Amino acid sequence: MFKRFYVLSVLLIAVSFTLPTIAAERDVISMMSVKQRLERMERLVDSDIFRTQARRIDALQQEIAQLRDQLDQQGYELNSIKQRQRSLYVDLDRRINAVETAAPASGLAVPVPSSGSQVVAPKNARAIAASASAAVSDKAKAEYDAAFDLLKEGRYKPAITAFEDFLKSNPDSQYADNAQYWLAEASYANRQYQQALSEFQRLITDYPDSTKAQGARLKIAYVYYELKNWSAARESLQQIISLYPDTNLAKKANERLERIQREGH
C-alpha cells in the first residue's frame, strides 16, 4: 500500500514539473514564425534521410544524362547511316552514267538506195530525226533521274511507282535494265521481299547481258535469307561462288554463307 502511494506521489511530482515545461514549449512554438517552425521541423527530422534522397536524386540525374547522351549518339549514327546510303546511291549512279555516256548513241537507220538510182533526202531530214531521238532520250533520262532521286531520299514507295511507270513508258530505253534493278532494290529496301525477288529475277530474265545481272543474283540470295528460305539462300550463294570465283561478289556470298552457318540455319 505504501509502495503504491509512493509511486503515485512520484508521478504527481513529475507531472507538476512537466506541465509547466509543456506549456512553456507550446508558448515558444506559438511565438515562432512560419520560417522558424519549418527550420525546427527540419532539425527534428533525421538528416540522413535528406542525404539519402539527395544521393538518389543525383543518381537519377546522372542516369538521365547518360540516356540523353545515348540518344544523341544513336541519332548521330542513324544520320550517318542515311548519309552513307545516299552517298552509295550517288556513287553508283555516277558510275552507271559514266558507262552509259561511253556507249554509242542510238540513231535511226538510213535507207540504202537501190542500184542505179539515187535517193536525195531533204537537207534537214537527218537533223530532224536526230533531234527527235535526242528529245525522247532526254525525256527518258529525266524520268529515270526523278525515280532515282526518290530512291536516294529513302522514299521507297514513290520510287517503286516511278520506276514501274518508267519501264512502262520506256521499255526499250538504254536505262531500262538499270531501272529494273533499282525497282527491285527499292522493293528490297521497303521490305517487300516477295516483290523484290520477282523484280530481281525479271532483270536476269529480260536483261541477261546487263552489268546489273551479277548483283541481282547476289540480292536474290539475300532475299531468300530475309524470307528465311535457308536452303534456297545457300543454293543461290553457292551458285554465285561457282559462276564468279575470285571476285568481290564471291567474297560477299561466302560471308553470307558463313553467317547462315553461325546462326545455325
Q: Which DSSP state fits 221?
A: H
User: Among 37-41, 128-132, 193-197, which is the least confidently predicted range?
Assistant: 128-132
Give tens-digit pLDDT for 50-95: 667 767 787 777 778 667 666 666 665 666 566 666 666 656 655 5
Task: Note the pLDDT of residue 61.
Answer: 73
Terminal C-alpha separation, the chain: 95
* Of 92, 213, 201, nearest in space to 152 by CA: 92
- Superfamily of 147-265 according to CATH: Tetratricopeptide repeat domain (1.25.40.10)
pLDDT digits 0-9 by tens, 101-126: 454 444 434 444 444 445 444 555 45
Confidence grade of residue 202 (pLDDT, cut at 50, 70, 90): very high
pLDDT tens digits along 180-192: 999 999 999 999 9
What per-residue confidence (pLDDT) applies to 97?
Answer: 53
Q: What is the DSSP string of 77-144?
A: HHHHHHHHHHHHHHHHHHHHHHHHHHSPPP-PPPPPPPTT------TTHHHHHHHHHHHHHHHHHHHH
